[in-house]
């Protein structure tokens, strides 16, 4: 199967043109917005940021009539631990994103787009700005795209260091110059989003898939992957494998195939212990569960986890699960926006309990307390950050309880990674 | 001494503000621009920017304290930001951090006496496939090991890292 | 109009009504911290989570709009567990200050803990996040960030009501805290409302701190006499001492109360409060002072004048009118006050600093008299030899009195009120000590109720006038405020 998103020699505008780039935009501008949305619906494309919401349906929520501006916003605030796919798209195929945004803008009637990119991606932001300037030079961004009468302005907005801005309403707050604190929903962004106007927010990978869908048709795209999980997905594999990196594969690919065929298996013949299949927020799978699972929305849900952002974190037998959970707890504690009580107070509490356990100061009661605190946070906050803390806690303890008990008894389980301070 | 915004900054600011239907949406880009001058956000700088934008000071301060990339104290010429999240952790980030602490004789959050290095640990930098990763100012250094780290430090000490933006 | 069922009771509500408000209408209390009826919805505290049938998760009642056919449960196990958990999260980093906290007794944490939790602490005292305590934030407030539950009511109050935006939540996660600009006082005219709306002891009033345990306070409805707005208040007092004035929210006039209005009680309890008479700057007993004042009035019966006052109640103005008409039988009196009125700051403070210009005009309507201008001219020309007036109203004729040289006999509550050059000053009871009727700028009649007894010998103004009349040999007798109102 040929790649849709990750291709060679398309980073520059000339290369992108040579590969047929911006023809889909021309085609799209000749269609009605309603037909465009229908085509994307038909493709079965689902949001690649983590939630997996059907993209065409999301676009269709924008009110059909009504005055005033609408916005298309790209979420390039890639920050979910384990995730590094959007950066790859930006570096290797920036025009697919730009073209996808122009098409999406036309489909929802938005003449203004913003790419919200995490602040740390300075080089990537500059690269995108250059690519937008190149596109503008050829009339692909700006007034009257390709003579169609449709105007589309696009610019890059850098964040400043806050994981929570990957949540779409926090992103909008940040883009408006505020702290990135998620908004209450309703109203949903499709009705009241950026600057109180109807807005669609899509992930980089989602938008970059749009030109090909328009070019080859929704049905063509829907034929890739599984019936409910259509298309290709970027899997970013990190951890002790021989060839970590981003792999574009059809949804539904077996985890075993990804690990063994594409990533060359574990380093130095180490044994697999666990896999976090969709970024650090999703429940962990044991080695046995992972080796039996297919990587798509439904199969992973059935296995008790989630596809999330497609960030596959490989954990080998030398790793201590208590330590890793402590690392994650420190992260969520650091990133909680502080708005909702359960998340603000709970993340810090969980970190403190894990500190105790990790340092051998904990007790068996702490293990139950950990789960009880996580339960108290789940499903009770404005955004999913509290759940993103609770899910790893509950799954780590459930599946690797023995390691937590060993810690509670004062014994440290597998040796620390080299250089532990 | 009162902090004043330069005319050059104001010109840039006006350009940035034009990119948004509400000018205060440019607050974060403007703060980033302002930080370029001094390397950190002084209260006076926030105050001057708040006055220039007609925003309450508290809002500007709240934004500065919410986002981690705004430095609230001066940083060294090279701001070493070592990722400590899960993939980098498994790839040896704690060892890299320990080595940096030892070689630079500073703790996280501190700056060497010569003003050359500030050491920080940061959360996921989004380059987990190339773990362990360190960001120095705005540039990423990937797949680090002890040797690479030592060489990098030497290069920085002798000014051999070219074109690095602050 | 959507029909909503809450805990089995069905109600039709206006479109846009939230579940929380609908529940309130049904008499179902849903606990909350961040919600305030006069502030925007924040939804951050998560205390008001309720179960909505068909919703996958618990919903915040404060932000969820009632929809037709919606079925809500507020007392299921799921809801109770959520409340217990949220309370636990709020309390883990909250200090154990209750014994020395002014909020104790009216604290949202204490109340809801008793109502919904009563759980034992599972959090180590040593693990508590420490924050800054006892920080003076302007003339009226102290901030204790350790007690703060980050509900952001104060932040929203300053941005939405006073529009001064002094406050914000800084930082994030459990190390976030409320802060203002370094070196800038939180001194907007409404700052004490922040102490009221703070559901915990984070914001306390510098004036009230450590003065009285709230459960000892008695509450009497009152009216603010700080300006023509005439806000309804609640006076908190114990054993004859007033400790604080709080707003008594009402749809007509006020939800809030301004800081100067809250401090108005201070004058009534100040050290320079008059209990005796003052003749030519010298304190003497009240009876001889009254006799001396009466004699000076008698000297110039026809050339005596009486001025009403927009600072006095309708009853006391009426007493003054009767003193002029039926006691002195002079035509030289005026109850003509018609200042520009209206809210001047968009919130509560009135352009007219006096509380009862309309009440004085009501007396004028019944008793007639000179216009204020006519009386001024007579005072200035020297035609008037003695002027009887309330101290602040006398201040309106300062220049005229100087020019015409009339002898001034004033009624004052505090020594600091006495105008320069007053010949005789007679004390009277404040409206914290005696009832009085006031008419605000909207024409609403409001009555004060006494909360404390006046010092021995200090009488309501109508009674002082009654005595003055008796001593000056007239036939007018005033035995009650009702007597004063006769014919008015």
Residues A3-57 pLDDT 10s: 999 999 999 999 999 999 999 999 999 999 999 999 999 999 999 999 999 999 9
Q: Do B35 and B90 share a domain, yes or no?
A: no
Q: Nearest C-alpha of chain A: how many angstroms from C244?
A: 32
B56 touches C at CB < 8 Å: yes
pLDDT > 60? residue A416? no
Whether residues C328 and C180 fall in one domain? no
Q: Which of B22, B44, B66 is the last residue of a domain?
A: B66
* Dist CA A175 CA A165 (whole Å): 9
The alpha-helical segments, DSSP class H, found in C227-383 are 259-262, 265-268, 286-299, 314-322, 357-367, 372-381
> Of the candidates B43, B66, B89, which is a domain's last residue?
B66
Residues C80 and C145 in one domain: no
C89-133 pLDDT, tens digit each = 999 999 999 999 999 999 999 999 999 999 999 999 999 999 999
Q: What percent of chain B has pLDDT over 90?
A: 90
pLDDT digits (tens, 9 = 90+) for A379-392: 999 999 999 999 99
- Taking the Cβ of residue A78 and every Cβ of chain B, the question of whether any pair is shorter than 8 Å is answered with yes
Please indicate whether, in this complex, the C-beta atoms of B28 and A159 are within 8 angstroms of each other.
yes
Mark whether C203 and C341 lie in a shared domain: no
Mutation target vs B (from A6, A80, A327, A354; most B CBs, 10 A cutoff): A327
Total structural domains within chain C: 3
Closest partner residue to B62 (CB to CB) among C164, C169, C182 is C169
DSSP C410: E
Q: Are residues B82 and B114 in the same domain?
A: yes
With a cut of 50, say whether residue C218 has pLDDT above it: yes
Identify the CATH number of the domain in which residue C142 sits.
3.30.70.20
Does residue C73 sit in the same domain as residue C174?
Answer: no
Spatial separation of the C-alpha atoms in residues A165 and A173, rounded to whole Å: 8
Overall average pLDDT of the A366-382 stretch: 98
- B85 with B50, same domain: the answer is no
Q: Are C27 and C124 in the same domain? A: no
Question: Considering B44, B66, B88, which residue would you say is the last residue of a domain?
Answer: B66
Distance from CA of B55 to the nearest CA of C (A): 9
Provide, as residue numbers in chain B, all residues whose Cβ is less than 8 Å from the Cβ of A180. Answer: 66-67
Could you tell me if residue B29 is inside a domain?
yes
Contact C453, C433 (CB under 8 A): yes
Same domain? For B17 and B46 the reply is yes
Q: C44–A340: do the CB atoms touch at under 8 Å?
A: yes
Least CB–CB distance from A160: residue in B28, B127, B139: B28
Residue B164 lies in a domain: no
pLDDT-derived band at C302 (thresholds 50, 70, 90) equals confident
Question: Which range of residues forms the domain containing residue B22?
Answer: 7-66
Asked whether residue C250 is assigned to any structural domain, the reply reads no
B83, B147: one domain? yes
Q: Pick the closest to residue B53 from B10, B90, B95 (CA basis).
A: B10
In this predicted structure, what is the pLDDT of residue B164?
A: 53
Q: Give DSSP secondary structure letters for B39-79.
A: SS--HHHHHHHHHHHT--HHHHHHHHHHSTTS-SS---SEE
Separation of alpha carbons B131 and A267, rounded Å: 14
Given a contact cutoff of 8 angstroms between Cβ atoms, the answer to whether A253 and A58 are in contact is: no
Predicted pLDDT at C168: 98
| Chain C interface test: which of A159, A344, A351 (most C C-beta within 10 Å) | A344
B59 and B91 fall within a common domain: no
Mean pLDDT along residues A96-103: 98
- Residue C405 φ then ψ, to 5°: 75, 20
B153 and B83 share one domain: yes
Q: Is the pLDDT of residue A108 over 60?
A: yes
- Same domain? For B14 and B53 the reply is yes
* Beta partners for residue A154, in sequence order: A113
Q: Quick one: C331 and C451 in the same domain?
A: yes
> Taking residues C53-73, what's their average pLDDT?
97
CA distance C89 to A303: 31
* Token pair recorded at residue C336: 């003509």
Which CATH number do you get for residue B42?
1.10.10
C343 and C444 share one domain: yes
Which residue matches tokens 């070689």? Answer: B103
Looking at the fold, whether C307 and C448 belong to one and the same domain comes out as yes
Q: Which of C210, C243, C258 is the last residue of a domain?
A: C210
Q: Are B114 and B150 within one domain?
A: yes
Is the distance from CB of C86 to CB of A342 less than 8 angstroms? yes
Mean pLDDT for C168-178 is: 97
Q: Does A159 lie at the interface with B, CB-CB under 8 angstroms?
A: yes
**Hey, are the CB atoms on A331 and B68 less than 8 Å from each other?**
no
Mean pLDDT value across chain C: 96
Pair (B54, B85) in one structural domain:
no
Nearest-angstrom CA–CA distance, A280 and A324: 10
Smallest Cβ–Cβ distance between B62 and the set C164, C168, C182 belongs to C168
Nearest to C168 among B43, B47, B61 (CB): B61
User: Helix, strand or coil for residue A234?
Assistant: strand
Here the contacts of A297-306 (C-beta below 8 Å, separation 24 or greater) are A297/A46, A297/A52, A297/A228, A297/A229, A297/A251, A298/A226, A298/A228, A298/A229, A299/A226, A299/A229, A299/A252, A304/A395, A305/A277, A305/A278, A305/A395, A306/A50, A306/A277, A306/A278, A306/A282
Domain coverage including residue C78: 3-89
Q: Is the pLDDT confidence value at B135 over 70?
A: yes
Residue B104 lies inside a defined structural domain of this protein: yes
Q: What angle do CA C182, C193, B65 make, to 5 degrees?
A: 30
Half-sphere exposure of B132 (CA within 13 A, CB side): 28
**Can you give the pLDDT at residue A418?**
42
Q: C76 with C200, same domain? A: no
In a domain, C371, yes or no: yes
Does B1 fall in a domain?
Answer: no
Mean pLDDT check: name the lowest of A322-336, B148-162, C131-145, C229-243.
B148-162
Residue B91 lies in a domain: yes
* B43 min Cα distance to partner chain C (Å): 9
C149 in A contact zone (CB under 8 Å) = yes
Q: Which residues of A touch B92 (CB under 8 A)?
A: 417-419
From residue C416, give the alpha-carbon distance in Å to each of C273, C279, C288. Answer: 9, 15, 22
CATH code, domain carrying C32: 3.10.20.740
In the block, residue with structure tokens 């987990």 = B128
- Residues B46, B116, single domain; the answer is no
Domains in chain B: how many in total?
2
Q: For residue A158, give Cα distances in angstroms to A115, A163, A330.
A: 8, 13, 25
Distance CA C313, CA A162 (A): 60
pLDDT at A419 over 50: no
For residue C290, count other CB atoms closer than 10 A to its CB. Answer: 19
Give me the CATH number covering residue C307.
3.40.50.740
Which of C151, C184, C210 corresponds to the end of one domain?
C210
The whole-angstrom separation of Cα A239 and Cα B130 is 9
Co-location of C325 and C186 in the same domain:
no
A60 vs C475, residue with greater confidence: A60
CB contact under 8 A, A348 and C129: yes
Same domain, C58 and C138: no
Judge if B35 and B89 occupy the same domain: no
8 A C-beta contact, residue C475 and residue C439: no
- pLDDT of A401 strictly over 90: yes
Short-list C115, C63, C59, CA closest to C87: C115
The answer to whether residue C115 sits within a structural domain is no
Cβ atoms of residues B154 and B117 within 8 Å: no
Residue C186 pLDDT level (bands cut at 50, 70, 90): very high
Tell me, yes or no, whether B72 lies in a domain. Answer: no
CA distances from A299 to A254, A296, A390 (A): 10, 6, 21
**A339 with C44: Cβ contact below 8 A:** yes
- Domain-located, residue C136: yes
Q: Tell me the C-alpha distance between A371 and A323, whole Å.
A: 16
Tokens (6 digits) for A60: 């269709």
Q: Kindly state the average pLDDT of the residues C459-463.
A: 97
């Amino acid at each position: 199967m040929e790649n849709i998103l990750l291709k060679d020699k398309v980073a520059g505008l000339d290369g992108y043109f040579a590969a047929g780039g911006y023809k889909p935009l021309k085609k799209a501008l000749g269609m009605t917005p309603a037909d465009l949305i229908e085509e994307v619906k038909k493709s079965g494309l689902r949001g690649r940021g983590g939630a997996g919401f059907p993209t065409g349906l999301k676009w269709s929520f924008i009110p059909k009539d009504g005055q005033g501006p609408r916005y298309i916003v790209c979420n390039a605030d890639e920050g979910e631990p384990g995730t590094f796919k959007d950066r790859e798209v930006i570096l290797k195929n920036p025009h697919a994103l730009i073209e996808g945004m122009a098409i999406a803008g036309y489909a929802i009637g938005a003449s203004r787009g913003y790419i919200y990119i995490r602040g740390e991606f300075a080089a990537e932001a500059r690269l995108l700005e250059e690519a937008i300037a190149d596109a503008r030079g050829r009339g692909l961004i700006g007034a009257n795209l390709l003579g169609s009468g449709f105007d589309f302005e696009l610019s890059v907005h850098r964040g400043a260091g806050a994981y929570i801005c990957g949540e779409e309403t926090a992103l909008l707050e940040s883009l408006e110059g505020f702290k990135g604190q998620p908004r209450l929903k309703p109203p949903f962004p499709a009705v009241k989003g950026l600057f109180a106007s109807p807005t669609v927010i899509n992930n980089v990978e989602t938008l970059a898939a749009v030109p090909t869908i328009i070019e080859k048709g929704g049905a063509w795209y829907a034929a890739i992957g599984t019936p409910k999980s259509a298309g290709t997905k970027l899997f970013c594999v990190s951890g002790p494998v021989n060839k970590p990196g981003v792999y574009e594969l059809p949804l539904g690919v077996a985890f075993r195939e990804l690990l063994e065929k594409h990533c060359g298996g574990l380093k130095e013949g180490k044994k697999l212990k666990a896999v976090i299949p969709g970024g650090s927020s999703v429940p962990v799978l044991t080695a046995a569960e992972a080796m039996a699972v297919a990587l798509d929305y439904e199969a992973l849900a059935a296995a008790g986890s989630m596809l999330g952002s497609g960030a596959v974190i490989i954990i080998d037998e030398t790793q201590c699960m208590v330590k890793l959970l402590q690392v994650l707890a420190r992260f969520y504690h650091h990133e909680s926006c502080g708005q909702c009580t359960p998340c603000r107070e709970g993340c810090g509490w969980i970190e403190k309990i894990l500190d105790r356990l990790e340092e051998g100061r904990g007790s068996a009661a702490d293990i139950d307390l950990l789960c009880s605190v996580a339960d108290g946070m789940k499903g009770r906050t404005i955004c999913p950050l509290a759940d993103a803390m609770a899910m790893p806690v509950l799954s780590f303890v459930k599946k690797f309880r023995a390691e937590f008990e060993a810690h509670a008894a004062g014994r440290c389980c597998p040796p620390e990674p080299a250089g532990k301070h | 001494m009162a902090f004043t915004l330069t005319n050059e900054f104001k010109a840039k600011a006006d350009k940035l503000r034009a990119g948004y239907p509400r000018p205060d949406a440019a607050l974060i880009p403007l703060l980033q621009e302002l930080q370029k001058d001094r390397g950190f956000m002084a209260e006076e700088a926030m105050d001057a920017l708040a006055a220039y934008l007609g925003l309450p000071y508290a809002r500007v301060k709240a934004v500065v304290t919410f986002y981690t990339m705004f430095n609230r104290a001066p940083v060294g010429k090279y701001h070493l930001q070592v990722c400590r999240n899960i993939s980098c952790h498994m790839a040896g980030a704690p060892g890299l951090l320990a080595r940096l602490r030892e070689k630079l004789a500073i703790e996280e959050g501190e700056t060497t006496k010569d003003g050359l290095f500030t050491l920080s640990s940061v959360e996921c930098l989004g380059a987990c496939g190339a773990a362990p990763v360190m960001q120095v100012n705005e540039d990423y250094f990937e797949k680090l090991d002890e040797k690479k780290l030592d060489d990098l430090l030497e290069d920085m000490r002798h000014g051999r890292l070219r074109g690095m933006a602050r | 109009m959507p029909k909503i069922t809450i805990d089995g009771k069905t109600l039709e509500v206006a479109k846009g009504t939230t579940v929380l408000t609908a529940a309130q209408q049904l008499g179902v209390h849903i606990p909350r911290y961040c919600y305030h009826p006069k502030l925007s919805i924040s939804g951050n505290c998560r205390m008001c989570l309720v179960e909505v049938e068909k919703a996958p998760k618990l919903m915040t009642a404060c932000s969820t709009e009632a929809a037709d056919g919606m079925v809500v449960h507020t007392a299921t196990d799921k809801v109770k567990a959520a409340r217990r958990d949220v309370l636990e999260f709020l309390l883990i980093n909250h200090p154990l200050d209750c014994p020395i906290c002014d909020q104790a007794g009216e604290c949202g944490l204490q109340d809801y803990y008793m109502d919904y939790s009563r759980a034992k602490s599972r959090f180590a005292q040593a693990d508590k996040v420490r924050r800054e305590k006892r920080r003076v934030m302007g003339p009226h407030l102290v901030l204790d960030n350790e007690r703060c539950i980050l509900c952001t009511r104060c932040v929203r109050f300053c941005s939405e009501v006073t529009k001064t935006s002094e406050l914000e939540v800084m930082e994030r996660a459990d190390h976030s805290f409320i802060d203002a600009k370094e070196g800038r006082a939180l001194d907007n005219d409404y700052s004490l409302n922040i102490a009221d709306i703070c559901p915990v002891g984070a914001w306390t009033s510098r004036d009230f701190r450590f003065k009285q345990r709230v459960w000892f306070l008695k509450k009497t409805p009152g009216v603010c006499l700080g300006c023509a707005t005439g806000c309804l208040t609640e006076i908190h007092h114990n054993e004859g001492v007033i400790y604080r004035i709080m707003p008594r929210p009402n749809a007509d006039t006020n939800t809030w109360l301004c800081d100067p209005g809250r401090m108005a009680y201070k004058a009534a309890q100040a050290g320079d409060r008059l209990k005796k008479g003052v003749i030519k700057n010298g304190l003497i007993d009240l009876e001889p002072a009254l006799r001396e004042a009466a004699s000076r009035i008698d000297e110039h019966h026809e050339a005596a004048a009486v001025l009403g006052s927009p600072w006095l109640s309708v009853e006391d103005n009426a007493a003054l009118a009767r003193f002029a008409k039926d006691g002195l039988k002079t035509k030289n009196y005026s109850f003509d006050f018609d200042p520009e009125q209206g809210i001047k700051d968009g919130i509560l403070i009135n352009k007219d600093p006096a509380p009862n210009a309309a009440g004085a005009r009501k007396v004028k309507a019944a008793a007639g008299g000179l216009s204020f201008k006519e009386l001024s001219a007579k005072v200035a020309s020297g035609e008037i030899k003695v002027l009887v007036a309330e101290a602040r109203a006398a201040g309106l004729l300062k220049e005229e009195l100087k020019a015409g040289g009339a002898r001034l006999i004033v009624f004052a509550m505090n020594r600091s009120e006495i105008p320069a050059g007053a010949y005789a000053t007679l004390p009277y009871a404040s409206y914290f000590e005696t009832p009085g009727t006031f008419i605000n700028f909207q024409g609403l009649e409001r009555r004060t109720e006494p909360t404390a007894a006046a010092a021995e010998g200090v009488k309501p103004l109508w009674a002082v006038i009654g005595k003055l009349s008796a001593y000056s040999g007239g036939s007018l007798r005033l035995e009650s405020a009702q007597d004063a109102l006769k014919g008015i």
